[in-house]
Amino acid sequence: MKNNISVLEYLKKMVDGKLNSGDFTFMNYPTNISKTLNMQIEKIALGEATISINADIDIHGNQQNTVHGGLMCELADQSIGTAHSTFINENESFASVDLKINFFAPFWKGKLFATSKIIRKGKTLTHYECKIL
């Protein structure tokens, strides 16, 4: 039996390992980019998401032999997009219009967690803060 559920409910069930074979939502989860990069949703709530990746310079390294900043940008964008998708209804869409990132330290190998939380939700623009640890 098919069961069309909200994005938030779908993601909660996915994180908890409780998706039933008939459960579906109108958005594509896991996303293709998260499958390609092996990113995982760790936590989800309305307007919040934590996404992880096992980063390693042997796979994600740059010319300085640290994890490439672009990977961290993608991780942040994935976290923010996942958090925002919890507000989206069928036949609605959204896109990131700006992404600013500050790098405080290099990273070489291990699990990175990007946690996004809503700062301000408007009618056409919503602002998030994302921390990668």
Q: Which domain holds residue 34?
A: 3-132
Residue-level pLDDT, tens digit, the chain, 133 residues: 788 999 999 999 999 999 999 999 999 999 999 999 999 999 999 999 999 999 999 999 999 999 999 999 999 999 999 999 999 999 988 998 999 999 999 999 999 999 999 999 988 999 999 999 9
Q: In sequence order, what are the beta bridge partners of 111?
A: 54
Residue 83 tokens, joined? 């958090």
The position carrying tokens 């919503």 is 126
Q: The CATH number of the domain where 80 resides is what?
A: 3.10.129.10
pLDDT computed for residue 48 by the predictor:
98
Per-residue pLDDT at 55: 98
pLDDT of residue 1: 78
How many domains does the chain divide into? 1
What single-letter amino acid sits at 16?
D
Shortest CA distance to 36 belongs to which of 3, 96, 78?
78
